[in-house]
Structure 1
Amino acid sequence: MKKVTSFHRFMNRRPSANCRYQPTCYEHAANCYTHAFLIAPALAGTALLHRLSADDWHRLTAWVYGLGLSALFLISTVFHVVTWKRSHMREVEHCFHMCDRVVIYVFIAASYAPWLNLRELGPVACHMRWLVWLMAAGGIFYVFNYHEKYKLLELASYLTMGFLPASVVASMNSTEGLEELACGGLLYCVGVVFFKSDGVIPFAHAIWHVLVALAAGVHYYAIWRYLYRSPPDRNACGS
């Protein structure tokens, strides 16, 4: 019995339907720090891609991707800090919870931007460059109108947006970087298991954060190595 008590001091029980999980103080700390330490590296990585850019189109793409990556870690950190210290900040907490959800859509679209902007695309696949942002806009519309009402639908929309553009990327003439993209995608998928395991696995959300960071790191490496460090392809859609 003592072991159970000691174990569960790091984790609260699962919430009831339509209620949010309330992390323990240990989990709050882990949720904050696991993304806070990545804000500066994300900004530094953005600056590196800017420095390696061959032209204005590459520089713009670097900043779209880099700011999406940095915003993910920044907004996540602020939201979890506010949630931790939320005694008199209910409205602020709700606002940043929405921002936390919105920035995921932006991040997914931004993560595909280098591949869709800098790789050679066919006439049909070329339209995915804009479609991914339309999907992000649809996700943002959902957050502002139906926040937390249909959680499974929200999860399905994240997964659809994450995998649909991958079909276009996988069909590109150059296959360099696809293994890294697949590896990162697998890490995100494993992370979803922990994302839905609050109250079942201690520090589940923090583990989700770590897996997101690892996946983002693998994808950043692929973008740096194959799209910026090496001579980039000219895009068939034009710039």
Structure 2
Amino acid sequence: MIKLCSKADTYSKSVAAIVYGLAIVSLFFASSVFHLFSLFYINGRLRSTLQLCDRIVICLFIAASYTPWLLLRDFHASWGLTALWSVWIAAIFGGAFQYVYLDRFQSVELMIYLAISICPAYSFIYMHEQSGLPLLITGALFYLFGVIFFKLDGHIPLAHAIWHCCVFIAIFLQFNAVDTFLITN
């Protein structure tokens, strides 16, 4: 986040850098705390609360990942702004769903994550400047590939660890795309 903010030379770039940077920090923090406590087999209310925070942050992170692209790029008509509002509303809905139904409807949870992740990408066909999209899409493919392992957790060894590796690679690729093609540019 500090790297992006230090390079931001406009107000919009600063907002995009802060939203995206805070989302990355929040994602890694929430996930790390939840998994740390899971190592010690802590059950009950604390574990459920940490898992809920982890899941809600994932929804918000997805929306924040789109924010720099939808805020800083020009679109035909109002596609960018419409997609920006839509992804944040969907993320809030996803977080609320997690709050109410945590782990009760796992297939629906997965569909919500995928919808929040994939639907806003439709707006990119209306984006005037396409530079950086191949790197963004490659990161998205790592997320989608990782979902396979996320769903296989408990069925094959190290599936959850592979999922986290895919997430790390995706964030690395997409961070570099945001840095190189949006903030620095």
TM-score w.r.t. length of structure 2: 0.96
Q: Which runs of 5+ in 1 are unaligned?
A: 1-45, 231-239
Please give the per-residue CA displacement for 1:137-159, whole angstroms capped at 9, x wherever unaligned.
10011011111111001001100
SS in structure 1 at match of 2:30: helix
Offset at 1:161? 0.7
Percent identity over paired residues = 36
Q: 2:6 aligns with which of 51, 55, 64?
A: 51
Offset at 1:229? 1.6
Please give the per-residue CA displacement for 1:1-38, whole angstroms capped at 9, x wherever unaligned.
xxxxxxxxxxxxxxxxxxxxxxxxxxxxxxxxxxxxxx
Q: 1:167 aligns with which of 107, 110, 122?
A: 122
Structure number with higher helix proportion:
2
Q: 1:188 aligns with which of 131, 140, 143?
A: 143
Question: Does the 8 A contact of 2:4 with 2:17 survive in 1?
Answer: yes
**Is 1:69–2:24 an aligned residue pair?**
yes
**What is the match of residue 120 of structure 1?**
74
Query: Which structure has the larger Rg?
Result: 1
Name the Cα RMSD after superposition.
Answer: 1.1
Offset at 1:170? 3.3
Q: 2:178 aligns with which of 223, 234, 237?
A: 223
Higher relative contact order (CA 8 A, sep 6+): 1
1:140-179 counterparts in 2 under 5 A? 140-179=95-134
Please give the per-residue CA displacement for 1:140-197, whole angstroms capped at 9, x wherever unaligned.
1101111111100100110011011111123201110111111111111110010011
**Is 1:91–2:48 an aligned residue pair?**
no
Aligned residue type for 1:130:
W
Offset at 1:199? 2.2
Aligned residue type for 1:81:
L
Q: 2:164 aligns with which of 194, 200, 209?
A: 209
C-alpha separation in 1, matches of 2:96 and 2:154: 29
C-alpha separation in 2, matches of 1:224 and 1:62: 9
SS in structure 2 at match of 1:82: helix
TM-score w.r.t. length of structure 1: 0.75
Offset at 1:124? 3.3
Question: Does the 8 A contact of 1:170 with 1:178 survive in 2?
Answer: no
Runs of 4+ in 1 over 4 A off after TM superposition: none
